[in-house]
Chain A
Amino acid sequence: MIPLYERTPGKLSREEVETLCILAAVGPTGCPGGQVATRLGLSPTLAAAVDRGLEPLVSTGLLVRSDQRVDLSDAGRELLRSEAPGAN
């Protein structure tokens, strides 16, 4: 298959940027899902929406959800370390 777009090394897609922002906000110690919006610097009124927005990251294995909390998975921690060193 011919790639439609050739990526420039070091560049990120919007999906990757937002994913990394979320991973950094969750942090190594994890947090309740409802707190991610505040940790991102967004309004608490968006807490529920942002919490719902974590689902794709949980299903791709970057986050782990247990009860109301979310934590970084090993893959998530690795991604954060490689793409955003110093975030932790």
Chain B
Amino acid sequence: MESNPQQGFVPSIRASLDAKLERLLRRPVIARVALPASKPAPAPALDGLFDLFHELDDTLRASAPAFGVGRRRDPWRVDPEDGTCRVRIDIDYDDLWRGCEREVMEAASGTIENCVTLLTDVQRLLLERSPREFLALNPAPEVVELVDFERELVGGSERVVELILVEAPRGRAHARHIAIVPNLIPLERQLAALDVIELAPETGALAPLRVLTGLSDASCLRVPSPSPGVESAVVADRLDEFQLECVRKARATPHFANIQGPPGSGKTTVITTIIRRALAAGERVLVVSPTHVAVDNVVEKLTPRPGARGDDDLERRTLPVRYAARPKKLLESAEVYWVGPKKERRAATISRRLQRRLCAVNPLAKRLYARLDKDIAGSAPLSRAVADVQSVICGTPIGILSYNPVKTAAPGEFDLLVVDEVSKMTLPEFLAVAVKAKRWVLVGDPQQLPPYNSAEENGATLDDLLSPELELVCSVGAILERANPAVRRDLRLLVVCTAPERVAAAALAHIVEVGLTGTPRVGAFADGVRSGIVLCAPDEVGEARGFVSPVHGRDRTHNPDQPGSVRILVQRGVSIPRPCFGSGDRLVEPRLRAPALIFENAFSVYHAQPWAIRAEQKLPVVAFRHGLAKYLPSTAAIASLAGDGLSQDSAAVRAALVDAIAERFAVNVVSVYDWIAGIPVEQLDVAPLRNLEGIARPLADLRAAVEPFVGTLRKQYRMDASLSLVPRELFYFGEALEDGLKSRLAGCRVRLLQVEADGLDGEFNRAEAKAICELLTRLNSLAAGNDEPTQRILVITPYRAQERELRGAIAAVRAREALVHIDVEVCTLDRCQGREAEFVFISLVRNRATPFMDAPKRWNVALTRAMQGLFIFGDIDAFLREAAGARGFVARQGRGQRPKMSLLARILESYDRQIAGYAIQHPRRAG
């Protein structure tokens, strides 16, 4: 489906955002504020006075339940140290959220750093019955930021039991409930931006955004005009030739400039040079990045270091405004420029700088400032006037829109928007802030982390494309596809829907067309089907559940954790009473239904397949791509549900549907970098990814217009030469990541450290955590002995469970001895982008790769954080054996074969070869 010439991709974007909003409001997790378990307070000593009162009080305390009275307890507990507030909550896990513990957990996780809403009884009722009206409440109910939550293990699943809020809510006395709903504001802002773009004139400042969204064709884009005086100025900034070229392009573009910056290639330097030049030309600039650390890096570099000659930020107006809701997320260097919604620290910074400046040039000012008493309050006129000059405002793309000067800015009011880490931003996220500017410089690296893909949330964006019945059929296909083929026939699934016979017929037709084999019987309960996949109406659930459940005996379900359990798949929009479930029954969660799986699998393939093709390697995750066909609607299912036989019409309907699914995928998962620089459709051979061509075609003219303003930073300045070799060859195929500096360090700075697996195949590994702690202790004492400055260590692991394990282990080490010579930070693969450290430790955790681990972009980021040394901990031998086995197999098969091995096997094989090669060249230094 190509974009509609009148509406472009806007309907797809709007439908996606509406669907996400709808999903968040459809079933909000509402918890009751619960009283904490209390201990009786000790009786006050009354020294014989008021004897009767004392006795009465004791009696009451001892037998309060009998009297039906008790002491009032406050459910809100404020931590006097950090001001956070804990509140115990009750969630209806016995009925409403039965079997949905994971869903609740995800809602709570998704709300961390966002706000929960405090509700009275009436407000709760309104939220449940009419979410849209609830949103329109004026005044709105109080919201408080959720910092974290406590969980408890109940019956094998984790439950959310306590919330930790950033501060005590003002209206807590009246709050009876707390709604845990992820933040709606970003989605509303993205929708608002879409309205602005639609209403913008075809040839106005926002014309390029209209082209990007398919509303106008690229012929309306302005021709570039030369930018005089840029070159000589940037030469002074000592940029390399690639950086210089990128700055030139960014300054010259009349619309978009795309700058690809591999790790350590000086992206921040280029960005700050572009900003300085723009400010010198009297322009106003917005700087955004999806991660705080990237914004802070720009802020830090934008401001001159103390004593820097001729670079007064008041003079050049480069004094940035750093907006964030709270300063605690910011780097120390950026915090002085912080402005938040409540208090302003910027004014104080400006006053100090103004004082320094005036004293330097004006002897009278120096005399007057000598008499300054800082404690006398007042409104300094000059500081205030200069503080109002906000030429460069920095923040996260959604957060910055809360800052009044940006929020109230007219479309196109800022001259330039610089986006860092643009490969992590989707199109709607970009558009939300892009409407405030009239030129856009996008800096990022398509070989680094892609946008965050919440498969379940994105899956919901297909709701308007797939009817509830068709979605049900696709989900049956998905469940069968994912079941182990050896036990697929024993699968028991109860499908609850409004038209069981019709859906059963469509499911059968779908199974045949997509070629699923070894499937169990499929049929309607009303037709006498009692085993396999049983479809029943909502009012038949209780009865049908009794039949499908095994009464006794052997059960070979595909799920070994839940023997005897039945999986229940409920049609979208249908609700069934939970008490009719059996004890081990599990609802098929949204993340395991077809829409979410389409996004999850297509996402993995989209980001891994182009690499696998260039690297001439078969990746297991890419091999899964054929499963995608089973999740997508089949022609037979469409025809069956439409009530006619297979026809050309149903084939055309399917083709249009898959095109539309591809468009939703592009809107919600493909980065805006790819939208402008080009979606790699030629390397994608499976639907719906190959259907992305329908999007790439209308954008071809835009790509051609942007082509002169696309640049790549080819040299890197972060890693020692021995650290950049493998990433350069493996992820950039020798086309970028050249070493900009000569290596000053000796030897190969990579070590693979074998840690025997502990026999568990989980998401944490104690043996690796222990080994890492031992090395940290050693490094600390070495740094102390050699009087080295504090060394930064970044410990990276794929899994959050291991991140927790590592933090705990390191805290235990710290309790024993002070690790004062090292500064250790632990983070996951998905959070390490934008960071760097002298030494990086990677904990692999598992000794076999999973689809999650087969992600080239994730590993590219992790392996390029180290400046001086990289230590990889794990069962290295297992991966090296895998690589050797794959190579051996290819050697036996003959030419033309590509080795099939996991990405980690390939990475570790490359490092192993590098280390071995170095050992041959420098036998003495090899460690």
**Interface residues in chain A, defined as those with a beta carbon under 8 Å from any beta carbon in chain B:** 5, 7-8, 10-22, 24, 40-43, 45-46, 49-50, 52-54, 56-57, 83-84, 86-87
Query: Are the C-beta atoms of A14 and B385 separated by less than 8 Å?
Result: no
Query: Are the C-beta atoms of A53 and B373 separated by less than 8 Å?
Result: no
Q: Chain B residues near A21 (CB, 8 Å)?
A: 358, 362, 364-365, 368, 382
Could you tell me how many residues of chain B have their Cβ less than 8 Å away from some Cβ of chain A? 36
Interface of A is mostly: helix
Known contacts A40-B362, A42-B314; A52/B388 CB under 8 A = yes
Query: Are the C-beta atoms of A49 and B389 separated by less than 8 Å?
Result: yes
From A10, A18, A19, A49, B371 is in contact (CB under 8 Å) with A10
Query: Are the C-beta atoms of B368 and A5 separated by less than 8 Å?
Result: no
In the assembled complex, the Cα of A41 lies from the Cα of B282 at a distance in Å of 19
Known contacts A13-B377, A41-B357, A49-B388; A22/B362 CB under 8 A = no
In the assembled complex, the Cα of A83 lies from the Cα of B364 at a distance in Å of 11
What is the CB-to-nearest-CB distance from A16 to chain B, in angstroms, rounded to a whole number? Answer: 7
- With an 8 A cutoff between CB atoms, is B317 at the interface? yes
- With an 8 A cutoff between CB atoms, is B45 at the interface? no
In the assembled complex, the Cα of A52 lies from the Cα of B373 at a distance in Å of 26
Query: Are the C-beta atoms of A12 and B282 separated by less than 8 Å?
Result: no
Query: Are the C-beta atoms of A52 and B385 separated by less than 8 Å?
Result: yes
In the assembled complex, the Cα of A14 lies from the Cα of B385 at a distance in Å of 14
What is the CB-to-nearest-CB distance from A29 to chain B, in angstroms, rounded to a whole number? Answer: 16
Which chain B residues (131-179) contact chain A, with CB distance < 8 Å? none
Which residue on chain A has the smallest CB distance to residue B317?
A: A45
Q: Chain B residues near A15 (CB, 8 Å)?
A: 376, 378-381
Known contacts A21-B362, A21-B364; A12/B371 CB under 8 A = yes
- With an 8 A cutoff between CB atoms, is B360 at the interface? yes
- With an 8 A cutoff between CB atoms, is B386 at the interface? yes
From A16, A41, A42, A50, B378 is in contact (CB under 8 Å) with A16
Query: Are the C-beta atoms of B373 and A7 separated by less than 8 Å?
Result: yes
Interface of B is mostly: helix
Query: Are the C-beta atoms of A46 and B374 separated by less than 8 Å?
Result: no
Known contacts A22-B381, A41-B358, A41-B361; A13/B376 CB under 8 A = yes
Q: Chain A residues near B382 (CB, 8 Å)?
A: 18, 21-22, 40, 50, 53
Query: Are the C-beta atoms of B373 and A12 separated by less than 8 Å?
Result: yes
Query: Are the C-beta atoms of B384 and A53 separated by less than 8 Å?
Result: yes
Q: Chain A residues near B385 (CB, 8 Å)?
A: 46, 49-50, 52-53
- With an 8 A cutoff between CB atoms, is B316 at the interface? yes
In the assembled complex, the Cα of A49 lies from the Cα of B389 at a distance in Å of 7
Query: Are the C-beta atoms of A17 and B317 separated by less than 8 Å?
Result: no
| Extra inter-chain contacts (14) besides given A18-B354, A46-B314, A46-B389, CB under 8 Å | A5-B375, A8-B373, A12-B368, A12-B376, A13-B372, A13-B378, A15-B379, A17-B380, A21-B364, A24-B364, A49-B385, A50-B386, A57-B381, A86-B364
Q: Chain A residues near B379 (CB, 8 Å)?
A: 15, 56
In the assembled complex, the Cα of A17 lies from the Cα of B378 at a distance in Å of 11
- With an 8 A cutoff between CB atoms, is B47 at the interface? no
Q: Chain A residues near B376 (CB, 8 Å)?
A: 5, 7, 11-15
What is the CB-to-nearest-CB distance from A72 to chain B, in angstroms, rounded to a whole number? Answer: 15
Known contacts A45-B317, A56-B379; A17/B369 CB under 8 A = yes
In the assembled complex, the Cα of A83 lies from the Cα of B368 at a distance in Å of 9
Instruction: Mark interface residues in B379-408 (1 if CB within 8 Å of A CB, else 0).
Output: 111111110110000000000000000000
Most chain B beta-carbon neighbours within 10 Å: one of A14, A20, A57: A14
Query: Are the C-beta atoms of A45 and B282 separated by less than 8 Å?
Result: yes
Query: Are the C-beta atoms of B314 and A53 separated by less than 8 Å?
Result: no
Q: Chain B residues near A19 (CB, 8 Å)?
A: 381
Q: Chain B residues near A12 (CB, 8 Å)?
A: 368, 371-373, 376
Which residue on chain A has the smallest CB distance to residue B384?
A: A53
What is the CB-to-nearest-CB distance from A11 to chain B, in angstroms, rounded to a whole number? Answer: 4
Q: Chain A residues near B375 (CB, 8 Å)?
A: 5
In the assembled complex, the Cα of A14 lies from the Cα of B351 at a distance in Å of 8
What is the CB-to-nearest-CB distance from B28 to chain A, in angstroms, rounded to a whole number? Answer: 46
Query: Are the C-beta atoms of B381 and A46 separated by less than 8 Å?
Result: no
In the assembled complex, the Cα of A40 lies from the Cα of B374 at a distance in Å of 21
- With an 8 A cutoff between CB atoms, is B315 at the interface? yes
Most chain A beta-carbon neighbours within 10 Å: one of B316, B378, B385: B385
In the assembled complex, the Cα of A56 lies from the Cα of B276 at a distance in Å of 31
Q: Chain A residues near B314 (CB, 8 Å)?
A: 42-43, 46
In the assembled complex, the Cα of A84 lies from the Cα of B363 at a distance in Å of 11
Q: Chain A residues near B358 (CB, 8 Å)?
A: 21, 40-42
Q: Chain B residues near A57 (CB, 8 Å)?
A: 381
Known contacts A43-B315, A49-B386, A49-B388; A11/B371 CB under 8 A = yes
Query: Are the C-beta atoms of B357 and A17 separated by less than 8 Å?
Result: no
Query: Are the C-beta atoms of B373 and A43 separated by less than 8 Å?
Result: no
What is the CB-to-nearest-CB distance from B366 to chain A, in angstroms, rounded to a whole number? Answer: 10
In the assembled complex, the Cα of A12 lies from the Cα of B370 at a distance in Å of 9
From A13, A46, A87, B364 is in contact (CB under 8 Å) with A87
What is the CB-to-nearest-CB distance from B789 to chain A, in angstroms, rounded to a whole number? Answer: 37
In the assembled complex, the Cα of A17 lies from the Cα of B365 at a distance in Å of 8
Q: Chain B residues near A53 (CB, 8 Å)?
A: 381-382, 384-386
In the assembled complex, the Cα of A5 lies from the Cα of B380 at a distance in Å of 18
Q: Chain A residues near B351 (CB, 8 Å)?
A: 14
In the assembled complex, the Cα of A18 lies from the Cα of B354 at a distance in Å of 9
Known contacts A12-B368, A14-B351, A14-B372; A46/B317 CB under 8 A = yes
What is the CB-to-nearest-CB distance from A36 to chain B, in angstroms, rounded to a whole number? Answer: 9
Q: Chain B residues near A17 (CB, 8 Å)?
A: 365, 368-369, 371-372, 380
Which residue on chain A has the smallest CB distance to residue B389?
A: A49
What is the CB-to-nearest-CB distance from A5 to chain B, in angstroms, rounded to a whole number? Answer: 6
Which residue on chain A has the smallest CB distance to residue B351?
A: A14
What is the CB-to-nearest-CB distance from A6 to chain B, in angstroms, rounded to a whole number? Answer: 10
Q: Chain B residues near A11 (CB, 8 Å)?
A: 371-373, 376
Q: Chain B residues near A20 (CB, 8 Å)?
A: 364, 368
Which chain B residues (447-491) contact chain A, with CB distance < 8 Å? none
Which residue on chain B has the smallest CB distance to residue A56?
A: B381
Which residue on chain B has the smallest CB distance to residue A10?
A: B371
Query: Are the C-beta atoms of A18 and B383 separated by less than 8 Å?
Result: yes
Top 8 A-B pairs ranked by shortest CB distance? A53-B385, A15-B378, A41-B361, A13-B376, A11-B373, A18-B382, A13-B378, A43-B315
What is the CB-to-nearest-CB distance from A63 to chain B, in angstroms, rounded to a whole number? Answer: 10
In the assembled complex, the Cα of A22 lies from the Cα of B312 at a distance in Å of 21
In the assembled complex, the Cα of A53 lies from the Cα of B387 at a distance in Å of 10
Q: Chain A residues near B361 (CB, 8 Å)?
A: 40-41
Q: Chain B residues near A5 (CB, 8 Å)?
A: 375-377
In the assembled complex, the Cα of A41 lies from the Cα of B360 at a distance in Å of 9
Query: Are the C-beta atoms of B282 and A14 separated by less than 8 Å?
Result: no
Which residue on chain B has the smallest CB distance to residue A7?
A: B376
In the assembled complex, the Cα of A18 lies from the Cα of B365 at a distance in Å of 8
From A14, A52, A86, B383 is in contact (CB under 8 Å) with A14
In the assembled complex, the Cα of A83 lies from the Cα of B357 at a distance in Å of 21
In the assembled complex, the Cα of A17 lies from the Cα of B372 at a distance in Å of 7
In the assembled complex, the Cα of A57 lies from the Cα of B378 at a distance in Å of 13
Which residue on chain A has the smallest CB distance to residue B388?
A: A49
Instruction: Mark interface residues in B330-372 (1 if CB within 8 Å of A CB, else 0).
Output: 0000000000000000000001001001101110110111011
In the assembled complex, the Cα of A86 lies from the Cα of B367 at a distance in Å of 11
In the assembled complex, the Cα of A21 lies from the Cα of B358 at a distance in Å of 9
Q: Chain B residues near A13 (CB, 8 Å)?
A: 372-373, 376-378
What is the CB-to-nearest-CB distance from A56 to chain B, in angstroms, rounded to a whole number? Answer: 5
In the assembled complex, the Cα of A16 lies from the Cα of B377 at a distance in Å of 10
What is the CB-to-nearest-CB distance from A20 to chain B, in angstroms, rounded to a whole number? Answer: 5
Q: Chain B residues near A22 (CB, 8 Å)?
A: 381-382
Which chain B residues (754-775) contact chain A, with CB distance < 8 Å? none
Q: Chain B residues near A54 (CB, 8 Å)?
A: 381
Which residue on chain B has the smallest CB distance to residue A44?
A: B315
Q: Chain A residues near B374 (CB, 8 Å)?
A: 14
In the assembled complex, the Cα of A46 lies from the Cα of B312 at a distance in Å of 13
What is the CB-to-nearest-CB distance from B348 to chain A, in angstroms, rounded to a whole number? Answer: 10
In the assembled complex, the Cα of A11 lies from the Cα of B376 at a distance in Å of 9
Instruction: Mark interface residues in B303-337 (1 if CB within 8 Å of A CB, else 0).
Output: 00000000010111100000000000000000000
In the assembled complex, the Cα of A54 lies from the Cα of B381 at a distance in Å of 7
In the assembled complex, the Cα of A30 lies from the Cα of B380 at a distance in Å of 21
